[in-house]
Structure 1
Amino acid sequence: MLEISPLIAIPDCEIEMHAIRAQGAGGQNVNKVSTAIHLRFDIMASSLPDIYKQRLLQLKDHRITADGVIVIKAQQYRGQEKNRTDALNRLRTLIHGAMAVQKKRKPTRRSFNSVKRRLNSKTRRGELKSLRKKVDE
């Protein structure tokens, strides 16, 4: 059971995990032992509330396929158990990110003095550049 919040938890049967061989350096261990974890989580078939499903599907994340399946590959650690917890933590953080409600942006105006300072600096910069020109006789 993956606990997302005190009210929301995902049962283990909805999370599909397979052990695969990791890539990269590691000597003979890489060739013999399947330590990396390939996690798949189908958003639409899950028991998450509909609002979280919609938010997850709207995320622009490379780990979410067009079919609505979250695919996470964890191979950072040498042990399978550490990679399994890492994959579950990454899934938890992804779902937490979808649960967070963004604040609505309040449009603000630039202060009069900031506009004045900007225009003055542009004028000074233009004058400096005009001094670099060739002098006409």
Structure 2
Amino acid sequence: MTTFETRLSGFSSLLLGFFRIIAGVLFALHGSQKLFGIPVAAPIPIETFSWPLWWAGLVELVTGVLIALGLFTRIAAFVASGQMAVAYFWKHWPPLEGPANSFWPMQNGGEVVLLYCFGFLALAGLGAGALSIDRRRRGAD
């Protein structure tokens, strides 16, 4: 291992924790936008209990807060990753339903969705990292 790699490897848990917090907060903000119009209004009006956007917002808010806090991180991240996979195949590249769209995420608007999907899948596998309630509760990820 090079000196640079050796130095960075000591920070992997802390950096994973920072990634988890930022990703969780941003995901929760997507949910609060859909549910409450906070911090900015949703691009389209979303009625309470309407399928699927209001429910997607609820999942985003709850799992985003749990991920940011590092509480039940693995299961919350797995659920959030699954939601993003469904969103990609249902709305961005809909081979199952809807009008044909490009496979390429740059063209179908699914880049952020895929980044959330695989980022949360990584958190489901790796755990919460440093600065998490899970770590305090169990003493480890």
Normalised by the shorter chain, which TM-score bucket?
under 0.3
TM-score, structure 1 normalization = 0.26
Bigger radius of gyration: 1
Structure with more strand by fraction: 1
TM (norm. structure 2) is 0.25
* Structure number having the greater helix percentage: 2
